[in-house]
Structures are given as structure tokens and as C-alpha cells.
Structure 1
């Protein structure tokens, strides 16, 4: 079994918590999406999620080298795939290796808006055991998004108890079928 990496002595300093070292508009972690057709992706994210384009740097051969959009309080970077540099989109790879979770004020409205803009429903919007109302979709560029509205504050113990109850029901249902 491979050994597990160890955290630095002061793990809290490993990720930049200090706003003075972050550029304005950024957080410690910024998603960077590789897509086929960044221009189309930006248009989709604008229509589906209300994103605002911050910047776009076009490179040779009609490809976007780098672009940034704003979704709520989060900056998201994206670029066209560049196989020669080892950057591939989920469509080229045959699936997404990561998903994104976006909190919104009205999950039902934004989810419907994203579907109307061309997303594909993976899981319908429903109340979740952990206190969110959420659904999951795939955008036309292969990225998976969970859209959620937080509806209930729960303790870790409450979430664990609900999870056990849910899994117990699913296991019993599977056995009986």
C-alpha cells in the first residue's frame, strides 16, 4: 500500500488564508476548466448560471489561451484544450474527473435555466439528507455541476445519522428486490 503524504508542520499555512497575498476577486482555490470551444462555454455559463466574463486571451489558431468568468463570489478560469500541451477536455477524455458545486439562492430556477441553456440532467433537484436542496447536471462541454441551495443547518452528528438511515433503507430495498 502506498504511503500517505504527510501535512506540513503547520498545515494551515499550506493554503493561502491571508487575503493580502491573493489577487482581488480570487479565493485560495480557483477552478480551471479545459473545454472544447471556450467562447461557446463562456456563452453557456452566462446563460445557464448568470456568469460574467472577466477576461479572455485569444491565442493562435482561433483558440482561447485563458479566460476568466465570475460565478457569484468565485472566479473560474477556463481555456480551450491544447493536446500539444497535455490539456484535454472531458469530451476528449471520455468523462469529467472532477465536479463543481455551486450554491445559489434558487436551485430550482437556476437548474431549469441551465437545462434550457443546453445542460443534461444527471440527478433531479431534490432535498438532500445533509441540508441542501440540489441537483446534478453535465454542461455541454463535459463538466459536471451540482447546483444547490442550503435549506437546513445540521450538526455533523445529524448528517451522519441521516446518512446511516438513508443507506439502511437503500440496502434493505436492494435486498428485497
Structure 2
């Protein structure tokens, strides 16, 4: 049997509001260089049941919201930041902004030794991007 990768770990699974899951896939491919591993449409032919992407070597799963299966209406994403530790924070940050992300915290050299900033994707999810400041370890 071919190695399918780790069988344990933690994988973010994002709910995308307003039936925009396929748009989210396109954004993550453009903004973060994601690779689409699979996409499964819902039986209604409109919504996205499930998608699996790889971003910077890690899995990211997403789906359109299905309010008929939850007790409470969801609110805008809040309280979670997805962090990308990358080789070149400026290149990753600039690519995300060019793809449509909004800057929350501009990139800067931080006291802990990283070049770090935050963006919000068009679907309301917060992402931080960082790498060691060049010349520091």
C-alpha cells in the first residue's frame, strides 16, 4: 500500500459562508499556491460538500456551510488565526494581497525574530504569515 502521509495530526477545516466554497478554493490556489487534492460537490448541485487542499505542505479542508445541519446560525469567522510559516514572508504576503486579501497587520520585523504580518481572506478567515528575519536564526 502506498504511503498516504500521516494518519494523525490536526487539520483546519473551514466552513465557507454564502455558497462560496469553490471561490475559496480558487483564492487559496492563487493566494497561497495551494494544490487542490479533491473536491466533492453536494447532492444539491450548488454547494461544496468537501474539498481537500495542500497549502505549504499541510492539509486544509473546507466546505460550504450547511445551516440545515447545525443548531445555530454561524457567525463571521472570529478567534482563530491560521499561521503560515514560510521561506519568504514578503513574497507570500504580497501574493495573498494581490489575490484579494485585506491587510490586518502589515509585515514587519518582530521582537521575537520573525518577519510577520496578518491578512484576512475574502471569506473572513484570518491568516498570519511569518519567516525568520533574514540574517537571524
Q: Distance in 2 between matches of 1:55 and 1:94?
A: 26
Q: Looking at secondary structure, tell me which structure has more strand per residue.
A: 2
Aligned partner of 1:136 among 92, 98, 118: 118
| Range that drifts further, 28-37 or 39-48 | 28-37
- Give how far 1:95 is off: 3.8
Unaligned runs of 5+ in 2: none
Q: Over residues 130-152 of structure 1, what are the superposed CA-to-partner deviations in whole Å (9 max), with x where a residue is unaligned?
A: 12111100000000000111234
Query: Number of aligned pairs?
Result: 130
Q: Looking at secondary structure, tell me which structure has more helix per residue.
A: 1
Unaligned runs of 5+ in 1: 1-21, 154-177
Higher Rg: 1
User: In the alignment, what sits opposite 2:107?
Assistant: 125
User: In the alignment, what sits opposite 2:25?
Assistant: 42
For normalisation by structure 2, the TM-score amounts to 0.86
- Give how far 1:103 is off: 1.0
Higher relative contact order (CA 8 A, sep 6+): 2
- Give how far 1:105 is off: 1.1
Q: Distance in 2 between matches of 1:79 and 1:124?
A: 29
Across the aligned residues of Structure 1 and Structure 2, the Cα RMSD in angstroms comes to 2.2
Q: Over residues 74-105 of structure 1, what are the superposed CA-to-partner deviations in whole Å (9 max), with x where a residue is unaligned?
A: 0111000111122989xx51342311000111
Q: Over residues 51-79 of structure 1, what are the superposed CA-to-partner deviations in whole Å (9 max), with x where a residue is unaligned?
A: 00000111123111110000122011100
Q: Distance in 2 between matches of 1:27 and 1:48?
A: 27
Q: Runs ≥4 in structure 1, deviation > 6 angstroms?
A: none
